[in-house]
Amino acid sequence: MGKHWDNVYNSGSSPWAGVPDKLQEKIKSLEPKPKTALDLGCGQGDKSLWLAEQGYQVTGIDVSKEAIEQAKAKRSDESNPVFLEEDLTKPSALDFPDQSFGLVLDLLAVHFLQADVQARIYKKIHSLLVPGGFVIHSRLNALNNQAPGWVTRLPVTPDAFEKMLAGFTVVEKVVSKSKNLPETDSYFYILQRKPG
Ligand SMILES: C[S@@+](CC[C@H](N)C(=O)[O-])C[C@H]1O[C@@H](n2cnc3c(N)ncnc32)[C@H](O)[C@@H]1O
C-alpha cells in the first residue's frame, strides 16, 4: 500500500496539497480551540504544518515514506509537527495514550480502508480525543459507475460510515459535487466527541 502512495507522491500529482481557505476558516472557528492535533494520512504535511503555525502541537501519520520525507523537508522545527511513517490498517499506528488530542484530521484518508478497519479507527479516535474534541473528516462517494474506478471501489458509503459514529455528534455535514472528479460527491464533516 505504501508503494502505491510513494508512486503517487513521486509523480508530483497530488491535487489535495495545500490548505484550502474554507478548511482554515472551519478550523479557526472551533470552540473551545484545541491545542493538539493528529493528522491521519497527512500526505506531504501541508495541513499539519499549517496547524503547527496556528499554535497546535501536531502529529502527522502517513503510510507513504515519500510523503513523510517531503513533509519533514518542509518543517523548520523537528519537534512540531512530528511526522510518522505508519500504516493505519495496523492498530499499533494509533498507539497513543487516551485523550492525547483535541483535534483529529481525517481528510480523504481513512475512506480508502476496509469497513471493519474504518470502524476500528473511529472507535480508537473516540478514545484518543478529549471529551468535546473534534474530528474534521472528508470522504468521497461515487454516484454511479461513471465515476473513476477507484472511487466506485471505495468500501464504505457515507450512510454506512455514519453508523460508525456512536459517541460523536455531527456538528456539521456538507455535501457537494467533487471539483475534480465526475459523478462523485464530496462529504465534509465536523464531528465532536460527546462528553463521557
Ligand atoms: C488523498 S491523500 C490525502 C492527503 C491529506 N490528508 C490531504 O488532505 O492533504 C490520501 C493519503 O492517505 C494516505 N494513506 C492511504 N492509506 C493509508 C494507510 N493505510 N495508512 C496511512 N496513510 C494512508 C496516503 O499515503 C495519502 O497521503
| CATH number of 126's domain | 3.40.50.150
What's the confidence (pLDDT) of residue 180?
87
CA of 94 from ligand 1 middle (Å) equals 15
What's the confidence (pLDDT) of residue 15?
87
Answer yes or no: is the C-beta of 107 below 6 A from any ligand 1 atom: yes
- The model's pLDDT over 46-76, given as tens digits with 9 standing for 90+, comes to 999 999 999 999 999 999 999 999 999 999 9
What's the confidence (pLDDT) of residue 196?
72
Whether the Cβ atoms of residue 158 and residue 187 lie closer than 8 Å to each other: yes
Domain membership of residue 14 (yes or no) is no
- In which residue are the cell numbers 499499533 written? 92
- The rounded average pLDDT for each run of 10 residues, N- to C-terminus, in the chain (196 residues) is 89 90 98 97 98 98 97 97 98 98 98 98 98 98 92 96 97 95 96 92
- How many structural domains comprise the chain? 1
Which of 62, 106, 110, 120, when mutated, tests ligand 1's pocket best, judged by the most ligand atoms within 8 Å of its CB? Answer: 62
Domain membership of residue 67 (yes or no) is yes
Answer yes or no: is the C-beta of 64 below 6 A from any ligand 1 atom: yes
CA of 33 from ligand 1 middle (Å) equals 25
Domain membership of residue 165 (yes or no) is yes
Whether the Cβ atoms of residue 114 and residue 160 lie closer than 8 Å to each other: no
The backbone torsions φ and ψ at residue 121, rounded to the nearest 5 degrees and listed phi first, read -65, -40
Q: Which domain holds residue 146?
A: 2-9+20-179
Domain membership of residue 44 (yes or no) is yes
Domain membership of residue 56 (yes or no) is yes
Answer yes or no: is the C-beta of 66 below 6 A from any ligand 1 atom: no
